[in-house]
A and B are shown apart, each in its own frame.
Chain A
Amino acid sequence: MSRWGERFRQSWILRAASGSVRSRESGNPVPCEAALGPRFRGDERKLWLAAIVLLLMNLSAPTLAQSPKPQNYNIGSPATQEQIAGWDIDVRPDGQGLPPGKGSVRDGEQIYLERCAACHGEFGESAGRWPQLAQGKGTLASHEPVKTVGSYFPYAASVFDYIRRAMPFGDAQSLTNDELYAVTAFVLNLNDIVDDKFVLSKETWSKVKMPNEGGFYDDDREAAEKAFWNSNPCMKDCRPPVKITGHASVIDVTPDDKSIRKGGVE
Chain B
Amino acid sequence: MNSSDEPPRPSRRRVLAGAAGMATAGLAGAARANDANLPPNVAPWSKAMGDGVAVRPYGHPSPFEKDVIRRDVQWLTASRESSVSFTPLHQLDGIITPNGLCFERHHAGIAEIDPHDYRLMIHGLVDKPLIFTLEDLKRLPRVNRIYFLECAANSGMEWRGAQLNGCQYTHGMIHCVMYTGVPLKLLLEQAGLKTNAKWLHVEGGDAAGMNRSLPLAKALDDCLIAYRQNGEMLRPEQGYPVRLVVPGWEGNIWIKWLRRIKVGDEPWYTREETSKYTDLLENGKARKFTFEMDAKSVITSPSPQAPVKSKGFLVISGLAWSGRGKVSRVDVSLDGGRNWHAAKIDGPVLDKACVRFYAETEWNGQELLLQSRAMDDSGYVQPSKDDLRKVRGVNSIYHNNGIQTWAVKASGEVENVEVG
Contacts and interface: CB of A to CB of B under 8 A. Distances in A.
Contact of A242 (B130, B336, B341): B336
Given A140-B280, A228-B383, A237 B287 contact: no
A235 B340 contact: yes
Interface of B: 4-5, 25, 28-29, 67, 71-75, 77-79, 81-82, 107-108, 121-123, 128-132, 136, 139-141, 161-166, 169, 186, 189-191, 201, 203, 207-209, 211, 259-260, 262, 264, 266, 268-271, 274-275, 278, 280, 282-292, 294, 302, 304-305, 307-311, 331, 335-341, 365, 369, 373, 375, 378-383, 387, 391, 394-395, 407, 411-420
B412 A264 contact: yes
Contact of B274 (A216, A217, A243, A244): A216
9 cross-chain pairs, A with B, having the tightest CB-CB distances, nearest first: A264-B412, A264-B307, A141-B284, A242-B336, A165-B209, A246-B418, A266-B28, A162-B271, A140-B284
Interface string A200-222: 00000000000000011111110
Contact of A166 (B75, B107, B269): B107
B144 to A, nearest CB: 16
A265 B271 contact: no
A219 B250 CA distance: 13
Nearest to A79: B129
Contacts of A37: none
Given A158-B271, A161-B270, A247-B162, A221 B190 contact: no
A234 B379 contact: no
A77 to B, nearest CB: 5
Contacts of B71: 255, 257
Given A76-B190, A218-B289, A229-B381, A264 B78 contact: no
Given A128-B78, A154-B274, A262-B413, A216 B287 contact: yes
Interface string A246-266: 111101011101011111111
A140 B375 CA distance: 32
A155 interface: yes
Given A77-B130, A237-B338, A217 B419 contact: no
Contacts of B201: 90
A94 B266 CA distance: 10
B339 to A, nearest CB: 6
Contacts of B340: 233-236, 238
Interface stretch (A42-50, A51-59, A80-88): A80-88
A251 B419 contact: no
Contacts of B391: 224-225
A265 B311 contact: yes
30 contacts: A75-B132, A76-B136, A83-B131, A89-B209, A129-B77, A140-B284, A145-B280, A145-B284, A159-B271, A162-B271, A162-B275, A166-B108, A166-B207, A172-B208, A215-B285, A216-B286, A236-B4, A238-B338, A239-B337, A244-B419, A246-B162, A246-B417, A248-B163, A248-B415, A251-B161, A253-B75, A261-B307, A265-B412, A266-B29, A266-B310
A249 B417 CA distance: 9
Given A147-B280, A158-B275, A92 B209 contact: no
Contacts of B186: 68
A239 B340 CA distance: 11
Contacts of A90: 201, 203, 211, 262, 268, 270
A28 interface: no
- Chain B contact surface mostly: loop
A251 B368 CA distance: 21
- Chain A contact surface mostly: loop
B275 A152 contact: yes
Contacts of B378: 229
B286 to A, nearest CB: 5
Contacts of B82: 169
Given A248-B165, A248-B416, A264-B412, A153 B274 contact: yes
Contact of A141 (B208, B275, B282, B308): B282
B415 A79 contact: no
A176 interface: no
Nearest to B382: A228
Contacts of A71: 189
Contacts of B274: 152-155, 158, 216
A138 to B, nearest CB: 9
A221 B131 contact: no
Contact of A264 (B164, B165, B285, B413): B413
B185 to A, nearest CB: 9
A4 interface: no
B260 A87 contact: yes
Contacts of A2: none
B287 A220 contact: yes
B283 A141 contact: yes
Contact of B307 (A79, A173, A244, A263): A263
- Most chain B beta-carbon neighbours within 10 Å: one of A93, A217, A221, A254: A254
Contacts of A243: 419-420
B87 to A, nearest CB: 15
A161 B121 contact: no
Contacts of B132: 75-77
Nearest to A224: B391
Given A147-B275, A248-B164, A265-B308, A238 B339 contact: yes
Contacts of B5: 235-236
Contacts of A100: none
Contacts of A94: 266
Contact of B338 (A73, A166, A221, A239): A239
B164 A254 contact: yes
A68 B183 CA distance: 12
